Amino acid sequence: MTTTVDGKMAMRPKDGGFVIPANGSHEFRPGGDHLMLMDVTTEVKAGDQVSFTLTLQGGGTVSFTAIGKDFAAGNESYLPGMG
């Protein structure tokens, strides 16, 4: 999730994840709440299609494909200690 630290936008993991009510929705967007890949070992190039499967607490899954974009699209900062 995105938070404000010393007047600057920064990101931190959301403890406990996001709780989305049945039939509800939750918006993920740049500068707001988002899914973030950590410890990625394979380079994602612009135009690459990356498949994701989210595992929900109830055991269900949600799958989708995202398109890699140029890194300049995401100008974000990180809390100290986050790589």
* Closest approach of Cu ion to the CB of residue 63, in Å: 21
Q: Which of 10, 36, 44, 68 binds Cu ion (CB under 5 A)?
A: 36
* Closest approach of Cu ion to the CB of residue 59, in Å: 26
44: contact with Cu ion by CB under 5 A: no
Report the alpha-carbon angle 45-46-52, nearest 5. Answer: 75
d(CA 68, CA 59): 28
How many Cα neighbours within 13 Å face the side chain of 71?
5
Could you give the string, one character per residue 11-30, with x where binding to Cu ion holds by CB under 5 A and - elsewhere? x-------------------
Report the alpha-carbon angle 56-22-20, nearest 5. Answer: 60
List contacts with Cu ion (CB under 5 A).
11, 36
